Amino acid sequence: MTDTPTTDAVATRELRIVDEQGRERLLLTVREGAPAVLLLREDGQPGASLRLDAAGRPAVRLANPDPAWPGASLEVDGKGVHVKFDRPGGASAYLFLNNAGGSGVVLIDTAGKRRLDAAVAADGSSRIVRYGEDGKPLA
């Protein structure tokens, strides 16, 4: 083991780490006061990211290497927290817990239309609503 001089800190707004071929693969950055870590695929596109927004709320995003397949995100926002799965073209599903204590699941079809809501309110009441192809609740 060799003695390597060390410092206590390195100050920069961006750090780019490259692979053996010189391609950027990891980006650590702070833009407009918001920090982010991006894991980049060989094509330079983000495969995963971890960010804080200006209010300090975190978001993790996972991109599918095939852009036609679903991706996922875990995010804290002003309403609460949610996990969302999105497929290009409209289909999505998400699970949420809002700041008031209500939770639920929402399912969206491939045409982008809401098809099912299942929710539990903060007071413990629950509901399940199915929607038709026209976007209206089924009786």
Annotated domain spans of the chain: 11-63, 66-139
CATH code of the domain occupying 66-139: 3.30.1120
Contacts 24+ apart (CB under 8 A), 53-61: none
| Amino acid type, 98 | N
Radius of gyration of the chain (CA): 21
pLDDT tens over the chain, length 139 residues: 567 777 888 889 999 999 999 999 999 999 888 999 999 999 999 999 999 998 999 999 999 999 899 999 999 999 999 999 999 988 999 999 999 999 999 999 999 999 999 999 999 999 999 999 988 999 7
pLDDT at 78: 95
Q: Is-contact 72 87, C-beta < 8 A?
A: no
User: pTM for this one?
Assistant: 0.84
Residue 44 DSSP one-character state: S
pLDDT at 2: 66
| Chain position carrying tokens 């975190």 | 58
Reported residue count of the chain is 139
pLDDT at 1: 57
- Whose CA is closest to 14, among 35, 45, 41? 35
